[in-house]
A and B are shown apart, each in its own frame.
Chain A
Amino acid sequence: MSTQTPAKRRGGHRVWGPPLLLITPTIVVLGVFVYGLIGANLNTSFQDRHTRGPSEGYVGFENYALLFSDDTFLYSLRNLLLYTGTFLLGTLILGFMWAWLLEKGVRGESLFRAVYLFPMAVSFIASGVVWRWLLNNAEGDRSSGLNRLFGSLGLDFLQNPWWTHERWGIMAIALPAVWQLSGYVMALFLAGFRGIPEELREAGRIDGATEWQLYRHVLFPQLSPVALSAIIIIGHMSLKVFDLIMAIAGQTNYTTQVPATQMWVEFTRGDYAKSAAIGTVLLLIVAVLIVPYLVATYRSERRR
Chain B
Amino acid sequence: MSTAATVKSVPQARPSKSASPPTAKSAVARTVKYALLLLFLCIILMPAYVLFVTSFKGIGDATPTRAWQLPTEWYFGGWDRAWDVLAPALGRTFSMVIPAAVISAFIGSMNGFVLSRWRFPGADIVFTLILFGMFIPYQAVMIPLVQLMQALSVPSGVPSLIVLHVVYGLPITTLIFRNYYAGVPHELIESARVDGANMLRTYRSIILPISMPAFVVVLMWQFTSAWNDYLFALFFSNSRNGPVTISLNFLASGQLQDYSASMAGALIASVPTLLVYILLGRYFVGGLMAGSVKG
- Set of chain A residues within 8 Å of B141, measured between Cβ atoms: 33-34, 37-38, 40-41, 279
Is the CB of A165 closer than 8 A to any CB of chain B? no
Cβ contacts under 8 Å, A125 to chain B: 228, 230, 245, 248-249, 252, 266, 269
For the complex, would chain A's binding face be called helix, strand, loop or mixed by DSSP majority? Answer: helix
Provide the bound-state CA to CA distance between A178 and B110, in Å. Answer: 36
CA of A155 to CA of B75, assembled, Å:
32
Q: Are A243 and B230 in contact (CB under 8 A)?
A: yes
CA distance A86 to B175 in the complex (A): 29
Q: How far is the CB of A147 from chain B (nearest CB, A)?
A: 9
Q: Is the CB of A130 within 8 A of B118?
A: no
A195 to B14, CA, bound (A): 11
Residue from A14, A37, A176, A195 within 8 A of B148 (CB atoms): A37
Asked whether A143 and B64 contact (CB < 8 A) given A1-B182, A125-B228, the answer is: yes
Binds B, one of A66-74, A166-174, A183-191: A183-191
* Cα separation A192 to B125 with both chains bound (whole Å): 28
Are A276 and B143 in contact, CB atoms less than 8 angstroms apart? Answer: yes
Residue of B nearest to A282 (CB): B137
Whether A130 lies near B132 (C-beta < 8 A) is: no
User: Knowing A44-B143, A260-B139 touch, does A297 contact B277 (C-beta < 8 A)?
Assistant: no
Knowing A37-B145, A41-B140, say if A101 contacts B37 (CB, 8 Å). yes
A129 touches B118 (CB 8 A): no
Contacts A34-B141, A144-B67; A22 near B199 (Cβ below 8 A) = yes
Q: How far is the CB of B65 from chain A (nearest CB, A)?
A: 8
Partner pick for B135 among A35, A191, A290, CB 8 A cutoff: A290
Chain A CB within 8 A of B79 CB = no
Q: Are A19 and B118 in contact (CB under 8 A)?
A: yes
Is B130 a contact of A19 with CB atoms below 8 Å? no
Instruction: Judge whether B44 and A106 touch: CB under 8 Å.
Output: no
Q: Which of these, B37, B224, B288, contacts A112 with CB under 8 Å?
A: B37
Question: Please, which residues of chain A bring their CB within 8 A of the CB of B64?
Answer: 138, 141-144, 148
**7 cross-chain CB contacts under 8 A:** A5-B118, A22-B111, A125-B230, A176-B47, A187-B284, A192-B293, A243-B231
- Could you list 13 further interchain pairs (A-B, Cβ under 8 angstroms) beyond the known A115-B44, A229-B289, A240-B139? A14-B120, A16-B118, A41-B140, A94-B40, A114-B281, A120-B277, A125-B269, A128-B249, A188-B289, A191-B285, A243-B231, A275-B142, A301-B1
Which residues of A approach B to under 8 Å, CB–CB? 1-6, 14, 16, 18-20, 22-23, 25-27, 29-30, 32-38, 40-41, 44, 94, 97-98, 101-106, 109, 112-134, 138, 141-145, 148-149, 152, 176, 179, 183-184, 187-188, 190-192, 194-195, 198, 202, 205, 225-226, 229, 232-233, 236, 239-240, 242-243, 246-247, 250, 259-260, 263-264, 267, 272, 275-276, 278-280, 282-283, 286, 290, 294, 297-298, 300-302, 304
